[in-house]
Amino acid sequence: MSEDRISLAHGNGGRLMRQLIETHFFAAFDEPALAQGLDATPVPATGGNLMMTVDGFTVQPLEFPGGDLGTLAANGTINDLAVCGARPRWLTLSAILEEGLPVEQLARLVRSFAEAVRGSGATVLAGDTKVVPHGQGGGAYLTVTGLGETVRGGLSFAGIRPGDKVLVSGPVGDHGTAVMLAREDFDLRGDVRSDCASVLGLCEAAWALDGLRFLRDPTRGGLATVANEIAQATGQGIRLSEPCIPLHPATTSVCEMLGFDPYYLACEGRVVAVVGPEDAGPLLEAWRALPEGAQAAEIGQVAGDAPRVVLETEIGGERLLDELEDDPLPRIC
């Protein structure tokens, strides 16, 4: 793989993407807030009262079991604000449409988007539409910027300590698996649905706890990538317990059949929390009381050794969960 041209791995959430962004974006902008690597950034003149985030969405196919490009774009942005302690308030939507897209399909995607936005209590303040010639667009790309009001401050990598617990709000890997199955080049049908949903309710439950250190939604690159981001940002190791990580059996089967590792596959409606040990129980209880958190679990802890992610397997072995190199699934979100 040539390193002087953009490859799919530059978009997978892993090492090449991180290096591309650090070398060519952070360097050009020289803005310290960017380099913190959080999902949203405080808007300075508002004293941190407002948080801002942006996300581009290129999922293929545009509609899949459990969601579509519209729900994905709305919830992805809502979730990036929520995990940073902010309630989503105002959004902008930019649509890049490919010539030939059925107008009725566009209408469905926009309605899905609008419904998810309304459900979060946010409103759309500005929009833009561009059309690119047939063959240059992949149907439709949406980019959503979100402005949210900070409710819970102090969430960052900096608060994470050895001994903190790692929790996840539900089964992992469903979105990645569902999208993969929905692509025509796999001749498989399963009953896996994307978990695409707002995590605002789950985050609100977590904001209430003093011992909450950090939240992140495990999208591109999945749970393993979030764990690696925490390890790199804190210099601490992360130990995850394989038997504790919730997985839908259908997702496990498909992944085994196709040779994918569900820990690296995107979720779009789950959240990973790091909390002080005293708050692991209360958070688990609060999450399990919500329908979207019924299968929440404590899955590991911060262990103060080398900054790497170790998976303790069912039979007592250990497996290193490395940073992603190649992209397992382009256009997953």
Q: How far apart are CA 232 and CA 156, in angstroms?
A: 13
Of 73, 174, 172, 181, give the one whose Cα is nearest residue 124.
Answer: 73
Does the footprint of a second copy cover residue 97 (CB under 8 A)? yes
Eight-state DSSP code of residue 323: P
Does the footprint of a second copy cover residue 34 (CB under 8 A)? yes
Q: Give the residue, chosen from 62, 73, 116, 117, that forms a contact with a second copy under the rule CB under 8 A.
A: 117
Q: Do 82 and 88 meet the contact criterion of CB atoms below 8 Å apart?
A: yes
Q: How far apart are CA 86 and CA 2, in angstroms?
A: 40
Q: How far is the CB of 187 from a second copy (least distance, A)?
A: 20
Tell me which amino acid residue 150 is.
T
The DSSP H or E segment spanning 85 is: none
Tell me which amino acid residue 115 is.
E
Q: Give the residue, chosen from 73, 327, 328, 329, that forms a contact with a second copy under the rule CB under 8 A.
A: 327
Question: How is the beta sheet containing 272-275 ordered, strand by strand?
Answer: 212-216, 272-275, 165-168, 297-303, 237-241, 309-312, 318-320
Residue nearer to a second copy on the CB measure, 98 or 261: 98
Does the footprint of a second copy cover residue 11 (CB under 8 A)? yes
Does the footprint of a second copy cover residue 20 (CB under 8 A)? yes
Residue nearer to a second copy on the CB measure, 154 or 330: 330
Choices 133-141, 174-182, 228-236, 271-279 (CB under 8 A): range interacting with a second copy: 133-141
Does the footprint of a second copy cover residue 294 (CB under 8 A)? no
Pairing label, strands 297-303, 212-216: unpaired
Choices 51-59, 190-198, 274-282, 308-316 (CB under 8 A): range interacting with a second copy: 51-59
Helix (H, G, I), strand (E, B) or coil at 271: coil
Does the footprint of a second copy cover residue 41 (CB under 8 A)? yes
222: region left, alpha or beta (phi > 0 left; psi from -120 to 50 alpha): left
Q: Give the residue, chosen from 15, 35, 61, 145, that forms a contact with a second copy under the rule CB under 8 A.
A: 145
The 146-185 site mask, x for binding a second copy (CB under 8 A), equals -x-x------------------------------------
Does the footprint of a second copy cover residue 317 (CB under 8 A)? no
Q: How far is the CB of 255 from a second copy (least distance, A)?
A: 22
Residue nearer to a second copy on the CB measure, 27 or 294: 27
Q: Other CB atoms closer than 10 Å to residue 300's CB: what's the count?
A: 26
Residue nearer to a second copy on the CB measure, 34 or 290: 34
Q: How distant is the alpha carbon of residue 330 from its chain centre?
A: 15
Does the footprint of a second copy cover residue 17 (CB under 8 A)? yes
Q: Give the residue, chosen from 15, 47, 61, 104, that forms a contact with a second copy under the rule CB under 8 A.
A: 104
Q: How far is the CB of 248 from a second copy (least distance, A)?
A: 26
Does the footprint of a second copy cover residue 202 (CB under 8 A)? no
Pairing label, strands 309-312, 237-241: parallel
Q: How far apart are CA 137 and CA 139, in angstroms?
A: 5
Residue nearer to a second copy on the CB measure, 132 or 306: 132
Does the footprint of a second copy cover residue 326 (CB under 8 A)? no
Choices 135-143, 190-198, 221-229, 242-250 (CB under 8 A): range interacting with a second copy: 135-143
Strand partners, 92: 126, 145
